[in-house]
Structure 1
Amino acid sequence: KKPISSREAMRRTVETSPTYMQWVEQSKDDLEIAKNAIQRADIEQLGEVVERNAFGMHETMHNAVPSVNYLTSSTHIVLEAVKNMRKDGWLVWSTMDAGPNVKVLTSGDDAYRAMCQLRSRVEDGLRNSSVFCNTEYCEPKFAIALPGDAVTVSTSLK
Structure 2
Amino acid sequence: MSEKGLSILARLGSGSACRSIPDGFTEWLTGTCNDDSYSVSIANSEYFEIYDLIVMVKKEKKEVSSTAGMEKFNPYFYARLAEVNENLNFVRKGIIEKNFKLLGTYAEKDCISMHTVMMNSGLFYWEPETLKIMKEVWNLRKNGIECYFTIDAGPNVHVLCLHAHKEKVKERISELNFEILESKPGGKARVIKEDLF
Normalised to the residue count of structure 1, the TM-score between the two structures is 0.76
Instruction: State how far apart, in whole Å, the 1-side matches of 2:93 and 2:66 are.
Output: 29
Pairing 1:142–2:180 present = yes
Instruction: State how far apart, in whole Å, the 2-side matches of 1:148 and 1:113 are.
Output: 23
| Structure 1 equivalent of residue 71 of structure 2 | 11
Instruction: State how far apart, in whole Å, the 1-side matches of 2:66 and 2:78 are.
Output: 18
Q: Unaligned 5+ residue runs, structure 2?
A: 1-60
Give how far 1:76 is off: 0.9
Pairing 1:54–2:114 present = no
- Measured against aligned partners, the alpha-carbon deviations of 1:55-95 in whole angstroms (never above 9, x if no partner) come to 0000011122xx11100011111111111111111101010
Instruction: State how far apart, in whole Å, the 2-side matches of 1:75 and 1:103 are.
Output: 10
Give percent identity, aligned residues only.
26
Secondary structure of 2:181's counterpart equals: coil
Contact 1:115-1:144 at 8 Å conserved across structures = no
Pairing 1:69–2:129 present = no
Q: Which runs of 4+ in 1 moved over 4 A?
A: none
| Structure 1 equivalent of residue 134 of structure 2 | 79
Instruction: State how far apart, in whole Å, the 1-side matches of 2:68 and 2:90 are.
Output: 29
Aligned positions, number: 132
- Measured against aligned partners, the alpha-carbon deviations of 1:81-126 in whole angstroms (never above 9, x if no partner) come to 1111111111010100111110001113322221112222x34xxx
Secondary structure of 1:143's counterpart equals: strand
Instruction: State how far apart, in whole Å, the 1-side matches of 2:152 and 2:81 are.
Output: 15
Aligned-CA RMSD value: 1.9
Give how far 1:28 is off: 0.6
Q: Unaligned 5+ residue runs, structure 1?
A: 124-139
Normalised to the residue count of structure 2, the TM-score between the two structures is 0.62
Instruction: State how far apart, in whole Å, the 2-side matches of 1:112 and 1:143 are.
Output: 13
Instruction: State how far apart, in whole Å, the 2-side matches of 1:109 and 1:89 are.
Output: 12
Bigger relative contact order, structure 1 or 2 (CA pairs below 8 A, ≥6 apart)? 2
- Measured against aligned partners, the alpha-carbon deviations of 1:112-152 in whole angstroms (never above 9, x if no partner) come to 221112222x34xxxxxxxxxxxxxxxx2102112223x47
Secondary structure of 2:86's counterpart equals: helix
| Structure 1 equivalent of residue 53 of structure 2 | none
The structure whose residues are more often helix, as a share, is 1
Secondary structure of 1:3's counterpart equals: coil
